[in-house]
Amino acid sequence: YSKEKSRNRFSVYHEDMDRETKEVLTIEMELRKAIERQELSIHYQPKVDVKRNKAAGAEALLRWNNQHFGEVPPSVFIPIAEETGLIIPIGEWVLHQVCRDLTTLDQYGFADFSIAVNVSAVQFSQDRFVESFRSILFEENMSARRIELELTESTVMPDARMAVQRLTQLKTSGFKLSIDDFGTGYSSFSYLKRFPIDYLKIDRSFIKMMDQYDEDSSIVEAIITMAHRLRLKVVAEGVENKRQLELLKKESCEIVQGYYYSKPVPLSAFIDFLFMEWPDESK
């Protein structure tokens, strides 16, 4: 009802709106049809285990190629999907697709791989979120152990009590859990200790700082030390050069992700990446 009402209101005032508002509405209307028109796809970015010098999995990143707008970046359409609630069906579509792609990876011999899926606050705060994700895995005949859920601090911190409960349900169901973009949000360390999480992903802004000013690698070192004390594994995102990689290795960061290894790419290119010969970095 309220949706209907706001839609009418939009059409009434449409002509009076500034250009930006009109554009948002058009993106919203196009986004509503994105799934059925098969305009969504997923790109995969490798997560590299630095000790074994081997890909351990990937992060699934949503892509939208619209018939009118072309490629729309996630920074534009994800916030609109969140505001309109469209992120819920879209997020379910992502999980379905990731399960199918994991099955394809199995056929190539990568049965020990897991794939990370991003989860927005809007999805996480739904009462039926856990049930919805569990039932998709059941439908797709996929184990939750193959799925890692990435949640940001701003998703889990505002209602930490609820978050602990929900994260525990997810953990019990077998999902791996990580805190994404760590260091940019609330950073309430006391709660971090209570969350049943597996990984901390250091935000790429800190990784970027590492090769600019020397003292800024001390922040990264501090985060890694703290994470290890809490028995969490560390993922560094946005690694773009060898210098960053070497510093992270020295600090015993477990997993790295970034353009240095690969940009996010379609599944077929990700599979090519997995079969590529790697130089032995340990020598």
Binding site for Mg ion (CB under 5 A): 118, 150, 180-181, 237
C-beta nearest to ligand C2E: residue: 258
CB nearer to ligand C2E: give 84 or 194. 84
Nearer to Mg ion (CB atom), residue 237 or residue 254: 237
Least distance in Å: CB of 74 to ligand C2E?
Answer: 3
Residue 101 and residue 42 in contact, taking contact as beta carbons nearer than 8 Å: yes
CB of 276 to Mg ion, least distance (A): 23
| Residue 177 contacts which entry, Mg ion, ligand C2E, none (Cβ below 5-8 A, type-dependent) | none
| Closest approach of ligand C2E to the CB of residue 97, in Å | 9
- 61 contacts which partner out of ligand C2E, Mg ion, none, CB within 5 to 8 A by kind? ligand C2E
Contacted by 73, from Mg ion, ligand C2E, none: CB < 5 to 8 Å by type:
ligand C2E
Kindly tell me which of 144 and 202 has the beta carbon lying closer to ligand C2E: 202
Q: With CB cut-offs between 5 and 8 Å by kind, which of Mg ion, ligand C2E, none does residue 70 bind?
A: none
Rounded to the nearest whole angstrom, what is the least distance from the CB of residue 60 to Mg ion in the complex?
9
In angstroms, the CA 78 to CA 269 distance is 24
Residue number, 74 or 89, with CB nearest to ligand C2E: 74
- The entry of Mg ion, ligand C2E, none that residue 94 binds, CB within 5 to 8 Å by partner kind: ligand C2E
Q: Which is nearer to ligand C2E, 14 or 263 (CB)?
A: 263
Q: By C-beta, is 73 or 279 nearer to ligand C2E?
A: 73
CA count, 13 A, side-chain hemisphere, 282: 6
- DSSP string of 37-104, one letter each residue: TT-EEEEEEEEEETTTTEEEEEEEEEEEEETTTEEE-HHHHHHHHHHHSTHHHHHHHHHHHHHHHHHH
Return the number of other C-beta atoms located less than 10 Å from residue 109's C-beta. Answer: 10
CB 251 within 8 A of CB 223: no
Long-range pairs for 101-105: beta carbons < 8 A, 24 or more residues apart: 101/42, 101/44, 101/60, 101/267, 102/142, 102/146, 103/140, 103/142, 104/267, 104/271, 105/271
Structure tokens at 8: 């009418």
Q: Provide the 3-class DSSP secondary structure of residue 112.
A: coil
CB of 277 to Mg ion, least distance (A): 28
Query: 3-class SS at 174?
Result: coil
Binding residues for ligand C2E (CB under 6 A)? 45, 61-62, 73-75, 78, 87, 91, 94, 118-120, 150, 180-181, 204, 237-240, 258-259, 264
Torsion angle of C-alpha atoms 208, 215, 201, 90, degrees rounded to 10: -40
In the bound state with ligand C2E, the residue whose beta carbon lies nearer, of 148 and 237, is: 237
